[in-house]
Amino acid sequence: MRFVLIHGAFSGGWIWGPLADELEASGHTVEAPDLPGGGQDGTPVSEVTLDAYAARVCEVLRARAEPAILAGHSMGGMAITQAVPLCPERIASMIYIAAFLPQDGQSLIALTQLPEGATDQVQANLIVEGDPPVATMTAEASRAATFAHCSDERAAWALASRTAQPVFPFTQPVALSGFDFAGIPRAYVHCTQDRAIPPPLQRRMFEAAGCDPVIELDTDHAPQLSRTAELAEALDRLAA
C-alpha cells in the first residue's frame, strides 16, 4: 500500500524516517514530503499558508497513479484535511496521528482554545517573533511537550532537526466548501500521554469527526519516534 505521511509544526519529512523504514520492511511504499517552510523546504515565510500546505499534499498525491493512505501528524492534520476537497480521488483513506482534526471553519488556534486544550504545553511555551511571525520553542520545552517518551538518542536527533514554524497557518480556518468525507474512511491514533494535543482534545476531535477505528497508544506526541514498531503495526493493520 502507498502511504503519504505529512509532518507537523517545527518539523519536516525527516520525522517519519524510522517509521518509514518499518513500513517499507512490511512491503509498503512511503512518501514523506516537506511542507512549505518545513524541513529543508525554502519557501519564504510570507508564502507559507494552509492553502500552500494543501497544494503541496495534493502535488505529492498526484505524482503517482496509485491512491494513497494519507496520514497527518499534529499540525499535519490541518494540512491533510484542507487538501481532501482538492484531490479526493487520490486518497484511499486517512489517518490522523495525534493530530488536529478540524471541522469546517475551525483553525488550529481555535482548536487549542477549546476547554479540552487547556493543558497544551506547545502553546504555553511558544516564542513568537518577526514579521511575518515565526514560532520557536526551547529544546527543554520541546522535549517535555513533544518527545517525553522518546529515547535520549532519538530525542536529541529530533531536537537538533527542528526548524522554526511560520505562524500564519495556525490562524487559518479550514475551508471545506461543504465537502462530504463520508466516502473516505478516517481513523485516529490517540496518544494518551500527549502533552502537546491533550488527550481530551484529541477525543473531542475524533468523536466529532466520527473516526473509526480509533487506536490508542500509551505514549507522547511523537509516536513515530517513541513507539515506532507499535505505530507501524497499527498502520499496517489499517492498510489491510
pLDDT at residue 222 in the model: 98
Domain CATH number, residue 79? 3.40.50.1820
Report the C-alpha gap between 143 and 195 in whole angstroms: 10
pLDDT at residue 224 in the model: 98
pLDDT at residue 135 in the model: 98
Report the C-alpha gap between 160 and 151 in whole angstroms: 14
Report the C-alpha gap between 168 and 86 in whole angstroms: 21
pLDDT at residue 82 in the model: 98
**At residue 57, what is the residue type?**
V
Which residue positions in the chain have pLDDT lower than 50?
none
How many domains are there within the chain?
1
- Provide the residue range defining the domain that includes 104: 2-239
pTM of the model: 0.98
Phi–psi pair at 64, nearest 5 degrees: -135, 155
Indicate if the alpha-carbon torsion angle 102, 107, 111, 112 is positive or negative.
positive
Contacts of 6 (CB under 8 A, 6+ apart): 32, 33, 35, 57, 70, 71, 72, 73, 76, 79, 80
pLDDT at residue 169 in the model: 98
Whole-angstrom CA distances from 68 to 83, 93, 171 are 13, 7, 28
